Structure 1
């Protein structure tokens, strides 16, 4: 019996998303592909370790009239894998100043790579838009940090005599200079808040997202516990499902978590992964983004899973983060994979808007950044990339349709 693990995105990518919605979209496609059969879900909370839980969404078909059966048929079980709290737990309780300083240091550290990427369009075709995004983060972080000295207005206040008696005149002059400079920065901060899209949430959400991703990739922070928990969930599925074949459904940074499990650094995947995972689905995978700014992250990988899995990759040419695994931004077949050409994904292009080249308006409004959240609507009833995935799974015999009944 096939089972799936749904690994969502991180931070802003997960707004209003859930495994229940994800399963509901597949039910909708099942309904469109069959007639006379009803489908529904049952949700169960399971614990795969002492302190880690998962929602198991089971998809059933009601086939009493068509198949003359008194028992509904279980088609598919989708488990969610929650790693967000594990990844950001060391960061989420920090104050706004700490977050701003962190994103400021991150961007400054990556600035040489950001600049050189602008001139290497053959290897990464979306460097311009991501450079602009990081530039906005830099400006906003600078603006907030530089506003802090404005609090030094007390230098000319009622405590001026006390300050003069206890501080050197040079220090007082420096504080006054910082205060005056900070006050001059206030208009810039105000403009940033008014004109930069979603500026009220970018600093808190994006700082957490990019900083934790940077720590995960650069230093392996929390990677061991995240991969250990994923192994534990896979073990639970193997022990509790009947002869399961496991599919990984991943979105955004969730695809990086999955690739880490399938192609680990300097070690081998566990036996449960080697023997049971048959399909990888990535949606909006930021592989090329990470490979460009962290060029050593995918080196020294074990390739034992290269010929054991099939890989479906959904991407948008309008999405600045998604990867089409090509050396251009064309909607065509993939040219390479994480291990070269051993496991080239099956590319599925999904666009909700007319494909167009970069223009000044889309560039300034970060259109190609916000498109990263466009693979499905907030509503489970809206159109989404799920139909492309469902049809490809059906073509590859992961969904088998026979007359009025559907098998897995």
Structure 2
């Protein structure tokens, strides 16, 4: 029985998505591809560890015009894998100022590689897109941090005179300079808030997302716990589903979690992964982004799964994070995979907007960043990339439909 694990993205990537919505879109595509059959979903909460749960969304089919019954055919089951809380919990406990400092330090640390990416088009074709992103984040983080000294405005001339009598004159002059400079920064911050949509909330989300990703990739923070939980969920499925073949449906950073499980460092994948997973689906996978800014992350991986999985990759050329596994930012077949050519993905291009060059308007509106969320919308009934995935899975015979 085909079974799926849905692994969502992080932070802002998860705003419009859930396993229930994903399964509902999948069910809708089943409706469109058949006649005389109705499809519906049932949601059940299961516990695969003492403190870890998953929503199991089961898709059933039954003849049109007939009532739902226990005899209806179970067609496909989606289990969601939650890791956001584990990955975000430390960062979310920090205050807003520390979050901005974390973002600022991260951008400064990565800025040399960002600049290098602009001149090396063959190594990373979306260097200009991420350059816009990092510069924008740098400006936003600096604007917030540099506004802090404006609080010295509360210190009036009399108080400064008092401080001057008790502290070094140079220190008082420096405090006065910081205060005046910070007050000059306030109009810039105001312009950012006015002209950049949702900039006040986006900064916090982006800081959380990039800092937690950096901690996961750079230091392996929470990686062992997350991968251990994924192994436990797979074990639960193997023990509770009848002869399961497991498909991994992943979005954004969820694809990084899946690739980590399939191609681990040092140790072989678990026996359950090797024996039961045969399909990987990635949507908006940031492989090239991570490989460019963290070049050691995908080195020395165990390639045990290279010959055992098929890989479907959905991407948009307008998405600043999505990978097409080519040496250009064009629509076409993938040229390489994580381990070279052994597991080259099947590329599926999905665009909802006309391709255009980067300009000032794109910069101010964060267009190529927000396009990362364009593979679906809030509605379960709207068009999405799910149709491409469904049709390709049907073509490759990953499930059978009774017509």
Q: TM-score, normalised by structure 2?
A: 0.96
What is the correspondence of 1:285-300 to structure 2 with a 5 Å cutoff?
285-300=285-300
CA distance in structure 2 between the aligned counterparts of 1:141 and 1:30, rounded to whole angstroms: 46
CA distance in structure 1 between the aligned counterparts of 2:89 and 2:198, rounded to whole angstroms: 24
8 Å Cα contact 1:2-1:247 kept in structure 2:
yes
Give the superposition deviation at 1:156.
2.5
CA distance in structure 1 between the aligned counterparts of 2:400 and 2:60, rounded to whole angstroms: 15
CA distance in structure 1 between the aligned counterparts of 2:360 and 2:104, rounded to whole angstroms: 26
Which residue is 1:84 aligned to? 84
Q: Does 1:320 align with 2:320?
A: yes
Give the superposition deviation at 1:48.
0.7
Closer/same/farther in 2, CA of residues 334 and 172 from structure 1, 3 Å limit = same
Which residue is 2:237 aligned to? 237
Q: Does 1:153 align with 2:146?
A: no
Give the superposition deviation at 1:64.
8.3
Give CA deviations for 1:336-387 in whole Å, capped at 9, x if unaligned: 0000000000011111122334445334433222111111121010001111
Which residue is 1:130 aligned to? 130
8 Å Cα contact 1:88-1:212 kept in structure 2:
yes
Which residue is 1:248 aligned to? 248
8 Å Cα contact 2:315-2:324 kept in structure 1:
yes
SS at match of 1:400: coil
CA distance in structure 1 between the aligned counterparts of 2:249 and 2:188, rounded to whole angstroms: 43
Closer/same/farther in 2, CA of residues 319 and 166 from structure 1, 3 Å limit = same
Unaligned runs of 5+ in 1: none
What is the correspondence of 1:21-40 to structure 2 with a 5 Å cutoff?
21-40=21-40
SS at match of 1:62: strand
8 Å Cα contact 1:318-1:371 kept in structure 2:
yes
8 Å Cα contact 2:265-2:300 kept in structure 1:
yes
Closer/same/farther in 2, CA of residues 45 and 157 from structure 1, 3 Å limit = farther
Q: Does 1:204 align with 2:233?
A: no
Closer/same/farther in 2, CA of residues 113 and 70 from structure 1, 3 Å limit = closer
Q: Does 1:41 align with 2:41?
A: yes
Closer/same/farther in 2, CA of residues 181 and 356 from structure 1, 3 Å limit = closer
8 Å Cα contact 1:315-1:348 kept in structure 2:
yes
Closer/same/farther in 2, CA of residues 86 and 149 from structure 1, 3 Å limit = same
Which residue is 2:179 aligned to? 179
Q: Does 1:5 align with 2:5?
A: yes
Which residue is 1:362 aligned to? 362
CA distance in structure 2 between the aligned counterparts of 1:355 and 1:166, rounded to whole angstroms: 62
Give CA deviations for 1:58-114 in whole Å, capped at 9, x if unaligned: 111123879xx9711111110000111111100012111101111110011011101
What is the correspondence of 1:253-268 to structure 2 with a 5 Å cutoff?
253-268=253-268
8 Å Cα contact 2:47-2:54 kept in structure 1:
yes
| Two-structure CA RMSD over aligned residues (Å) | 1.6
Which residue is 2:191 aligned to? 191
SS at match of 2:90: coil
CA distance in structure 2 between the aligned counterparts of 1:396 and 1:34, rounded to whole angstroms: 17
Give the superposition deviation at 1:140.
1.0
What is the correspondence of 1:333-372 to structure 2 with a 5 Å cutoff?
333-372=333-372
Q: TM-score, normalised by structure 1?
A: 0.95
CA distance in structure 2 between the aligned counterparts of 1:201 and 1:163, rounded to whole angstroms: 37
Query: Which deviates the most, 352-361 or 73-82?
Result: 352-361
Which residue is 1:55 aligned to? 55
Which residue is 2:281 aligned to? 281
CA distance in structure 2 between the aligned counterparts of 1:63 and 1:231, rounded to whole angstroms: 37
CA distance in structure 2 between the aligned counterparts of 1:318 and 1:178, rounded to whole angstroms: 40
Give the superposition deviation at 1:125.
1.2
SS at match of 2:370: helix
CA distance in structure 2 between the aligned counterparts of 1:298 and 1:2, rounded to whole angstroms: 29
Query: Which deviates the most, 212-221 or 348-357?
Result: 348-357
8 Å Cα contact 1:7-1:82 kept in structure 2:
yes
CA distance in structure 1 between the aligned counterparts of 2:33 and 2:133, rounded to whole angstroms: 41
SS at match of 1:74: strand
Unaligned runs of 5+ in 2: none
